[in-house]
Structure 1
Amino acid sequence: MSEPADGKTQEKRRRILEAARFLVLRNGLRGTTMEAIAREAGIAKPTLYVQFADKDAIFVGIADTIMDDLLAAYDSGMAGSGDISERVGAALAGQYAVLARTLAGSPHAGELMSEHKRVGARFREKDLRAEVEIAAELGAAGVAEAAALTKVICAAAYGIALKIADEAQMVAGIKLMCRRMIEAAVKR
């Protein structure tokens, strides 16, 4: 018995995105062609264009799947156990660990990180959601300048993620930074 038409469409879309993700990580965005994506996905080029209008649309599709993983890691950290510094540290470290694993070994990681403007609205939406949630948690914990501290913590976590290539060290660094900054602010 065959899948319904929408199941086949979703399966094709998944195969295309997996193939594109593999090629983009290996060859970079500029070095990946629609023809190569179709070949890697095992479909005809016209079939690819039925699913995605162009390479930008495919990049957005890849980013959307990564975004779902980032949000799941962030939410898991915030819902975890521990005090506010531990939960914020786990949330931010978790999302950057997902990103590190996604880009691991790619000689084009820098290029891909700089392409965030193509999907900037979705990433900005995620960042704003995190900032509002973290600021509310910090405010509830008695931090006087919760919104300002949140911006500093989020910026520092991003910087740590960019500068420390080793995932375990990066996660530890983000958690340490959150613990030190948040505990100091809560004790005031």
Structure 2
Amino acid sequence: MKSRLALPADEAERVRFKRVVRAADELFRTYGFRGVTMERVAREAAVAKATLYSYFKNKDELFVAVSNRMAALLAKAFTGALEAGGKLDDRVAAAIVTRRRLAFELYRLSPHAEELHSAKSKLAGEIFAEAEREMEARLVQALRDDTALKPGAERLTRALYHGSAEIASRCSGVAELETELRAFVATHLAGARALARRH
């Protein structure tokens, strides 16, 4: 995924910029989109309001930057789990669990999840859509490494990726989410291999 953040050239400014985005992320999750002001972000990030406004002209732009950071973190975590050593099935399960757990922890556990989701859809929908497409493409590539799964890799990816979102939406906690998703992935991969053997 290509970064949409235009980071300042100066190292000290980059550090300050990243601190602002992290502070805004925490504030949005704690107080919701409507409960956050640019003044509050400047105070939390320990920067002058003028500095904050030199980075972002308004709260919408700041939220887009926070969303861009979050989408990049999700994609990086997913890819890292998928490319780690070990058996393919374990890596696929780890990637799916990691993707859904991060979203669960970062947004579903926020008391402002619905409001944040609405703002995300309105202001940063394409950023997350691009990250989702990247993660799905990486999963297709990984599944194609298995001879039995290769012919149906795209269809299997859609089932795993979108089915896992539905399961995660019904889970009430992280432990349940992890257990349910690991079982879901294992069942799908075993089923896909069994079907491949029949053909």
From 120, 127, 133, give the equivalent of 1:122.
Answer: 127
Question: Counterpart of 2:174 in structure 1: which amino acid?
Answer: E
Q: Deviations over 1:71-108 (max 9, x none)?
A: 22111221134433322111111122222332364201
Q: Distance in 1 between matches of 2:133 and 2:193?
A: 22
Q: Match for residue 157 of structure 2?
A: 150
List structure 1 segments (4+ residues) > 4 angstroms apart after TM superposition. none
The percentage of aligned residue pairs carrying the same residue is: 28
Matched, 1:9 2:3: no
Q: Match for residue 66 of structure 1?
A: 70
Q: 1:128 to 1:89 in 2, by over 3 A?
A: same
Q: Match for residue 174 of structure 1?
A: 181
Matched, 1:187 2:194: yes
Tell whether the 8 Å contact from 1:103 to 1:109 is kept in structure 2 after alignment.
Answer: yes
Q: Which moved more, 1:18-27 or 1:49-58?
A: 18-27
Please give the secondary structure, in 2, of the residue aligned with 1:16.
Answer: helix
Please give the secondary structure, in 2, of the residue aligned with 1:187.
Answer: helix
Q: Distance in 2 between matches of 1:82 and 1:42?
A: 43
Scaled by the length of structure 1, the TM-score of the pair is 0.86
Q: Distance in 1 between matches of 2:128 and 2:27?
A: 22
Scaled by the length of structure 2, the TM-score of the pair is 0.81
Tell whether the 8 Å contact from 1:16 to 1:38 is kept in structure 2 after alignment.
Answer: yes
Q: 1:139 to 1:41 in 2, by over 3 A?
A: closer
Q: Gaps spanning 5+ residues in structure 1: where?
A: none
Please give the secondary structure, in 2, of the residue aligned with 1:31.
Answer: coil
Q: Distance in 2 between matches of 1:180 and 1:124?
A: 27
Q: Gaps spanning 5+ residues in structure 2: where?
A: 1-8
C-alpha deviation, 1:166, in angstroms = 0.9
Q: 1:16 to 1:133 in 2, by over 3 A?
A: closer
C-alpha deviation, 1:28, in angstroms = 0.3
Q: Match for residue 30 of structure 2?
A: 26
Q: Match for residue 49 of structure 1?
A: 53
